[in-house]
Every structure is written in C-alpha cells, then in structure tokens.
Structure 1
Amino acid sequence: MSALTLRDADLPLADWLADLAVDALIDEADLTPKPGLVDRRGSGAHHDLHLGLMHASALSLWPCFRQMAEAAQQHGEVGLPLREALGRIGREGEAAMLAITGGVNTHRGAIWALGLLVAALALSPDSLDARAIALRAGRIALIDDPAAPKPDSHGADVCRRYGVRGAREEAQLGFPAALDHGLPQLRRSRAAGAGEQNARLDALLAIMAELSDTCVLWRAGPEGLQATRAGARAVLVAGGAASLAGRRQLRALEARLLELNVSPGGAADLLAACLFLDHAGSL
C-alpha cells in the first residue's frame, strides 16, 4: 500500500508531500553506520556538521517543499513557469536553511533532488510509479531557469574538472543512481530479510558503488572516488550490511574514507530521494 493512500483526508497533498520529503532527509541522517557521513555516532569526515544540525536543516525545509508542491498544483504541467517557480522557491529555501545552520551547506543538493520529486508527484498524485515520478522530475530539470545564478558550487567545479555528471545531470536523466541501483538493492535486501536499517545501508552502498559523487571528487579526487566505489562494492559482494563479512568490509571502507577525508554527500542526497520514492510508490 502506498504512503499516499494512508494520508489523512483532511491533510492537504502539499503538506503530506513536504512531510514525506522531510522524513526522507531525517531517515537518511539517522541511518547508522554510514561511512564518512554524519550519523548517530558522530560527524564522519565533517568538522562543521552534526546530527542535530542535520535534523534542524531538514525541518527548516518543510515550507520550501510544501510551496514547491503547491506551485506544481497551481501550474498543473511541466513547463517554464513551473521551473521558474521551483527555482525561486528553492533559492529561498536554501537561504532559510543557511540561516538555520549558520551558513553551513547541509542540504543544498537535497533541495534540488527532493524538490523536483515533490513537484513531480504533486503534478500527478495518482501516478505512484517511482520511475514515472523520477522521469517527470527529469523533464522539469531539463528546463533552464533564466533567473538561476551561474553555477559556482564545488560540484560544478568538479564536473568541469573531471568531466563527470553532477546533481543537475543526474536529475535530468531521471535519477538513475536511485532508480537503477538504490531502490532495487533496497528491495532485494528487504526481501532477503536484512532488516530495514541494513536494507537502507545496502541501498546507500549500491548508489556509492556507481555514482561519480562530486562531493567525493572535490575532497579526494579520482583516488577517493575509486576507493569509495570499490569499498562499497566490496561490502555488497561480501553479503551486505546484514552479514558479518559485510560489516567487516564496511568498517574497512569507513576507515579508508576517513583517512582520505571523504564524505559521499551526493550518494546521501540520492538515498534520501530513493527513500522518498520508496515511501510514495513502487517500481
């Protein structure tokens, strides 16, 4: 049964979608043990982040996600007016997030990914197929926003330097890392009896194993990306997070990422997208 079918009939759709998006961010933050990332144990490879800050950041974005859903309902179709509205709301949401975090970028990538997915689902709330939602989000992402500032983020710099696709291109393609790797692994691990937390860890690792994570490349270059991908694959090959051998590989991966000062933040954003899609519908 879809989470949407469980929504209180008195709760507006936009509110419910904002709830789902914030829940996905908090679920991602709480998931433990995540290699190199903030979780319940500590700050991972970060010196300016902690779990309480991640929670506060996620909660600060609730109005942003609600407004994005309302904009999609108002415009009713994929097009430039909706794209411009989402861009404006996203920039306002980022400013509100930075005000809460004291200028620390906690969820910039998640605003982009989850905002598109929230809008895509609000456009067609009866169409709950995860791939259809992601492809609809991709159609929105393909539209240029004339008011958007020139990309000057670490991710944009890494894309130019290494010729990889970043968060923008990942969205434009319909989130393949989440759809083709994260969600299938999440469901395989659940079906194998791994338990929900281990299944989510396996989904994160499946994304890490495939993604050209610009957060990793920014911190540690190709060496860091190779270590991230190879280490994530090693955990899954060993049996995943629910197995003793997999846990040993997971500890080895974390030690290596901390040595390299690597945090796979792009994969974390896509895990949140994966969890949102999983809550909302099914493949």
Structure 2
Amino acid sequence: MNARMSAAPISPVASSSPECSFPDRVATWAERSLMLEIETWPKPGLVSHVDTGSHTDMDADTFRRSAIALRPYFAALVAAGMRNASMTVLRKIGLRAERAMLSATGGVNTHRGAIFGVGLFCAAAGLREAGLVDARGTLGAVVRRRWGREILAGPRLPDSHGEMAGTRYGAGGARQEAAQGFPSVYAIGLPALRDAQSLAPGHDEAARVQACFTLIATVEDTNLLHRGGAEGLRFAQQAAQAFLDNGGVGDPAWEQCAGRIHQAFVRRRLSPGGSADLLAMSVFAMELERWPSDGSTVEVE
C-alpha cells in the first residue's frame, strides 16, 4: 500500500469566474466530482489515491486522466439539455465520451457508469437552467420525467458487467436506477453526505467514506454481483452495515476499521463500482442542487 496522501478539499465551483459559461461551470464540477471520488479512502475494494483496491489494470492516475478527458463531453451534455435534446442525442455524446475515456486510459473502462449517471445529471442541469422544467425539482426528477421512458427503451449493452449481472440475478442496475430518477442518490447518498457532517465536522473525505459505505450497505450493486455473485453482494452489504452500526466515521478508530474492510474486499476481489458511481453523483448533486436557476418553471411530463 502506498503512503497515505491527503485528499484535496472540495472547492465551490459555483463561485467560479462569471465569464465561464453555464455548461463549462457544470462540467468543471462534474470533473471535480469524479476526482473527489478517487480522492477518498478507504473505499472497500475500490481504486483511490492510496492504492488500487481489487484492480490490477488501473490506478488513481488512470481515473484522473479519464476525468479530465470527459470534461468537454459533460459540457456538451449540459448544452444538449439546454436544447431539450432527446435521449438519442445524449446517447451519441455519451458514446463519444466513452471513446475519449478509452483513449485516455489505454482501453481501460474507468468511468462508463459515471458517464451515464453524471452525464444525465449534466443534461438535466441544462434543461433546468433553460427554464424547461420546474426549477424546484431535483436533477433526478428531471431525468425521470424527461428521459425515463427513453432510457428503459434504449439499446442494451451485452458486454456490460451490470447488464450481465442484472440478467443473471434479476437486479435492476443503472438503467432502472436512472429511469426512476436515481433514488439511491437522493434517498441514500445525499442524506449520508449530509449526516456525516455532524459525525466528522469539516472532514469532507470522511463524509464521502460514510456515504460510500452507506451506498454499499444498501444498493444492489451489479458490479459486486458480477465479481462475487449473490454471496459476494451479501458479504459486502453486511460488512458495510457493520461499519455503520459501529458508528461509521463517528467512531474514533473509523479509518482503521474501514481499512480492514477494504482489505477484506481486496482479498475477495470485490469492487462495488456501482456504489462508486453513485458516490460521485451524490457529490455532484449536493453542489448542483444548491445552484439557483434563472429560468422559468414549465413542468416536463
């Protein structure tokens, strides 16, 4: 394991230069959210700035290169949302983003799930900014109302680990999560981030660890199902819940406890990639939901 490195603090993108366009501001925060997910440790089985977790083909720098490469595509998704683009248009931008990711990482899939989830949030932010939806609605609600049906009707990805696990075990996966407005972000990830502020005041990385464990304990993560089957998912959920029941990041020895669970995941080659994507989305949404919209409020059905 590498020497422990301190994670970079969250900086408010909302206060960036007024000359910066809205799509660029949102894309900046999307990139930052992916960076912050990597700058979080211990995350059981996942790549971080400390070690590579259960992975041998990627490290933190791989993820950083990917996040940087994705930024212009996140901006394009915001702009597409501002034009009220269809899911077909968003999907084409997403496919270009995947190609840029693979080029930046030498063919390693670092952020396919985040391109889908954070990308949809970017498009929703654009739609809301343009005044085409109720400005009081969450980004998740915008995704569900505007693109939910198209998401469910879209083409399948036969080589996707999530799709394969969903077919085998009957799990809903990212597609169902998106069509429902990302309930795991709003019912699990965001509340955990906020609650952790009282457990570890001023410690943003600890808040992200708490949210990550809460997501792992609750979400039917298809990446865990792919790697460990139903038994692996059950082990992961129980281990994460035990951490939370012991006080989570409110326990003075939380980092050592989380580190032991992390190593247990590594020994079993478990990696909750779906929960990592939801963590990045939760970080993204926590900032974006605070941004005011200047648009009018026309509800999208």
Would the TM-score normalized by the shorter structure come out above 0.5? Answer: yes
Partner of 2:82: 73
Matched, 1:50 2:59: yes
Q: What letter matches 1:271 in structure 2?
A: L
TM-score where L is the length of structure 1: 0.91
Q: Distance in 2 between matches of 1:31 and 1:62?
A: 20
Q: Distance in 1 between matches of 2:154 and 2:121?
A: 19
Give ranges in structure 1 of 5+ residues lacking alignment. 76-80
Partner of 2:295: none
Q: Distance in 1 between matches of 2:56 and 2:83?
A: 41
Deviation for aligned residue 1:133: 1.2
Q: Distance in 2 between matches of 1:237 and 1:49?
A: 32
Q: Distance in 2 between matches of 1:183 and 1:86?
A: 25
| Matching residue within 118, 121, 136 for 1:114 | 118
Q: Distance in 1 between matches of 2:13 and 2:40?
A: 23
| Matching residue within 266, 276, 282 for 1:274 | 282
Contact 2:86–2:147 (8 Å) recurs in 1: no
Partner of 1:236: 244
Matched, 1:184 2:212: no
Partner of 1:171: 178
Number of aligned pairs? 276
Q: What letter matches 1:231 in structure 2?
A: A
Contact 1:204–1:271 (8 Å) recurs in 2: yes
Deviation for aligned residue 1:100: 1.1
Contact 1:84–1:145 (8 Å) recurs in 2: no
Deviation for aligned residue 1:217: 0.7
Matched, 1:150 2:156: yes
| Matching residue within 217, 231, 244 for 2:225 | 217
Give the SS at the match of 2:196: helix
Give ranges in structure 2 of 5+ residues lacking alignment. 1-10, 292-301
Q: Distance in 2 between matches of 1:63 and 1:185?
A: 30
Q: Distance in 2 between matches of 1:197 and 1:148?
A: 36
| Matching residue within 202, 205, 213 for 2:210 | 202
The percentage of aligned residue pairs carrying the same residue is 34
Partner of 1:101: 105
Contact 1:231–1:250 (8 Å) recurs in 2: no
Detail structure 1 runs of 4+ shifted over 3 Å in the superposition: 2-5, 126-129, 145-150, 244-249
| Matching residue within 87, 110, 114 for 1:83 | 87
More off after superposition, 20-29 vs 273-282: 273-282
Q: Distance in 2 between matches of 1:46 and 1:59?
A: 21
Deviation for aligned residue 1:24: 0.3
TM-score where L is the length of structure 2: 0.85
CA gap 1:147/1:91 in 2 versus in 1, 3 angstroms: farther
Q: Distance in 1 between matches of 2:256 and 2:40?
A: 18
Q: What letter matches 1:135 in structure 2?
A: A
Deviation for aligned residue 1:279: 1.2
